[in-house]
Structure 1
Amino acid sequence: MPPKKKRPVLHAVTVLALLGTSGYLTVELRKDEQAKAPSVQAVTDEPNLESSTGQQGGKQTWERLKNPERTVLRGAEGQVLATFTDNARTATLRGPSRTFSESANTTSKVVTEDWVRLMPEPWTKGAEKEKWFKDWFKEYYGSQEDDIFAYSFQYVQGAPVKKDDEGIPYAGDAVFGPFKPDGVDRLEQNDFYDYLGIPYTFRDGTTMPARQDRYRALDCSGFMRMIWGYRARHPLMATNTAGDGLPRTADGMARSKVGVDIIKLQGPAPWYTRPKNIDVLQPGDLLFFKMDHRTGNHMDHVALYLGLDTDGHRVFISSRKEVNGPTMGDKGGASRIDGNGFYAGLLRSAKRL
């Protein structure tokens, strides 16, 4: 809105054995991490909007920083009020405090003053002096209009249905996908137009039909395309190869030239290695994970980084099979990228759109 070489032939029994081992290890890792997760308690799921901290008094200054190249706006006391990264459209603005939680699946809560928004153009050094930015900044600095974080929590369990002027539900509790014939695993490749239940024509003219058996379903990358593309209007590719914008899959997104690679893939394929330092991350970044033996060197999962929860853990929200939809919960592995948990150990790269 992805010269052929001869490969050794594996016996069918060997292949099945490898796949079975892969699935078993993945399930056991998830079970182990789930056992460590805290028990669920009732918490509020209502945003706690306080007086705006976005309207700061006193002198404000613009400053250039490196790694990655970016510009920050500082308040009179040196506090960061906004961050803009070169070649990225994502802006992180200081605003009213909000509380995000999901009582059905976790005790974790995120209380944040970060508001993540999409600028109309990628940031460049000195853009604070340009008219397009001044107009945009005047409208959104301190605004309480829904941002990327607000969009993302409009698809978790129990989220109320929201409909557009034509009566099409564009928000509300989403599932990951229907069961496969085995009744155990769930079907993937569920994009935002499947959730909407309508065909969608992309900028290159490609029209993708919605599948009724996938209605109100969003897989992990479909969830990102819903909030960043359909809701925030970032350009989208129809597939990983057709059109321009954000690709269709987690692997396509991870390897795309769109945005800025904040943490690059490191180490040997196909598993690569976990990054040693994740301090460079900021709320709104896309996180990519390598989770499955069967997918070669592909990244298998994508999530939205939320920042620190009230326990000091770095947490994210994503759509996953175990919860059957978008969640920041603990089922199938706590949504954390610090420590030694399931997802923390499988984090591989990050991107800022």
Structure 2
Amino acid sequence: MKHIRAAVLLTTLVTSGAAVVHLAQAEDVPTRARDNGAVVAIAQARQSSTNYSFVRLDGPARTAVLDEHARLVAMFTDGARTTVLSGPSRTFADPQRTSALVTTSNWVRLAPQAWKSGAEKESWFRPWLEQALGDRSPDILAVATQYVASAHYADAADYNDFLGISNRGVKPRKDRFGDVDSAGFVRLVYGYRMGYPIGDNGLPRTPPEMPKAPLGAAIADNAVGQPQTRYLAQPGDLLLFSTDGNKGTVDHVGIYLGVDDAGQQRFIASRGTPNGPSFGDSSGRSVLDDDGPYAAGLWGIRRL
């Protein structure tokens, strides 16, 4: 009965978007993301003796991990490495572009391999979960928000242009130093910083290529005009947009953060206005639940 109640609760949380993300000042993220060693040590000691239970959920197929008090501590989606973990609450802000704050106790990390039903029985799972639950280094959400107000937008600028480094034989362009477009930003965060594959079997170079690439789990496809699709997003998901009115072409990509302090679903992306990575309100609000171009143009969701 406990597991049935937990499953109902989890389904409600995920489908309603009630898993709230708390955001911090971008320049302060590394400091806020750290806990002192004593806190981490206590957490790890507690986790090592935890009797976890596992609940299978549908839409998409995934496994919820509960502790002995039936509290949700992790969510794994079949076919994806992206894992949402429970941790201390944080706050991220983009004060130059919006007054909105996103507050979350969700921490998003990459598991060493794609999830599948029953993977909790494999040898890698328990050590990785316990380490990840105690890890306070910057996660995917913290890394993404570190570039708010510290990077600029330029069309066709990849992460190697932003960093000024060569990438697989491709030299950076001096006139693009410090610049990154929407796909380049995703590749910077997930690929360069977090180690997700880039290229033929990973994150492609442009938004139009992303629906065709073997990227984790396809949570939704070709969903323009279907507003209910937004309820499927969880923190860390890639959001694919078709903003030019052509429903068959993906032309923009962002990373879903969670629900802001006004109750709206907010994402971060690099775009021309406001000139770089932002979850602000310039040139269209960065939300999935208004009447703006991004809410109307949500094409699909990928969970890496």
TM-score range (shorter-chain normalised) is 0.7 to 0.9
CA positional deviation for 1:69 = 0.9
**Aligned-residue offset at 1:324:** 0.8
User: Which residue of 212, 215, 221 corresponds with 1:255?
Assistant: 212
Identify the residue that residue 18 of structure 2 maps to in structure 1.
none
Matching of residues 145-224 of structure 1 within 5 Å: 145-157=137-149, 173-177=150-154, 188-201=155-168, 207-224=169-186
Task: Give the structure 2 partner of residue 284 of structure 1.
Answer: 236
Matches within 5 A, 1:301-316: 301-316=252-267
**In 2, Cα distance between equivalents of 1:150 and 1:260:** 22
In the alignment, is the contact (CA less than 8 A) between 1:110 and 1:306 conserved in 2?
yes
Give the whole-Å Cα distance in 1 for the aligned partners of 2:58 and 2:238.
20
Helix, strand or coil: the match of 2:127?
A: helix
CA change 1:265–1:275 in 2 (3 A) is farther
Aligned length: 270
In the alignment, the residues of structure 2 paired with residue 336 and residue 88 of structure 1 have an alpha-carbon distance, to the nearest angstrom, of: 24
The verdict on how the C-alpha distance between 1:105 and 1:209 changes in structure 2, with shifts beyond 3 A counting, is same
Number of the residue aligned with 1:273: 225
3-state SS of 2:190 partner: helix
Structure 1, 340-349 or 142-151: larger mean CA deviation: 340-349
Assess, with a 3 A threshold, how the Cα gap between structure 1 residues 54 and 325 changes in structure 2: closer, same or farther: farther
SS of structure 1 residue aligned to 2:231 = coil
Which residue identity lines up with residue 176 of structure 1 in the other structure?
Y
Unaligned runs of at least 5 residues, structure 1: 1-42, 158-172, 178-187, 202-206, 238-242, 267-271
The amino acid that maps onto 1:154 is Q
Match for residue 136 of structure 2 among 144, 158, 161:
144
Instruction: Choose which of 79, 82, 90 in structure 2 pairs with 1:90.
Output: 82
Residue of structure 2 in register with 1:334 after alignment: 285
2: distance between equivalents of 1:102 and 1:85? 29
Higher relative contact order (CA 8 A, sep 6+): 2
Deviations 1:51-95 (A, max 9, x none): 789767764311111111111101334332100011101011001
Which AA in structure 1 matches 2:165? I
Structure 1 residue identity aligned to 2:295: A
| Structure of greater Rg | 1
Partner of 2:117: 125
Question: Could you tell me the percent identity over the aligned residues?
Answer: 39
Residue identity opposite 1:208 in structure 2:
V
Query: Offset of 1:248 from its aligned partner?
Result: 1.0
User: Any conservation in 1 of the 2:243–2:293 contact (CA below 8 Å)?
Assistant: no
Q: Judge conservation of contact 1:197–1:211 (CA < 8 Å) in 2.
A: yes
State the SS of the aligned residue for 1:225.
helix
Structure number with higher helix proportion: 2
Measured against aligned partners, the alpha-carbon deviations of 1:105-162 in whole angstroms (never above 9, x if no partner) come to: 10110110111111111111111121222232232112101110111011111xxxxx
Task: Answer yes or no: is the 8 Å Cα contact 1:254–1:350 preserved in 2.
Answer: no
Residues 228, 128 of structure 1: CA spacing in aligned structure 2 closer, same or farther, 3 A cutoff? same
Offset of residue 208 of structure 1: 1.4
Matching residue of 2:301: 350
CA contact (8 A) 1:286 1:302 kept: yes
1:145-187 Cα offsets, whole Å, 9 max, x none, are 1110111011111xxxxxxxxxxxxxxx11112xxxxxxxxxx
TM-score by length of 1: 0.71
Alignment check: 8 A CA contact 1:94 1:142 kept: no
Q: Quick check: 2:201–2:214 contact (8 Å CA) kept in 1?
A: no
Partners of 2:43 and 2:293 lie apart in 1 by 36
Two-structure CA RMSD over aligned residues (Å): 2.2
Aligned to 2:192: 230
Q: With structure 2 as the length reference, what TM-score do the two structures score?
A: 0.82
Whether the aligned pair in 1 keeps the contact of 2:197 and 2:203 (CA below 8 Å) is yes
CA contact (8 A) 2:227 2:295 kept: no
Q: Secondary structure at the match of 2:87?
A: strand
Q: Deviations over 1:246-303 (max 9, x none)?
A: 111112113322211111214xxxxx5334342221111111111125x783201101
| Structure 2 Cα separation of the partners of residues 151 and 143 of structure 1 | 14
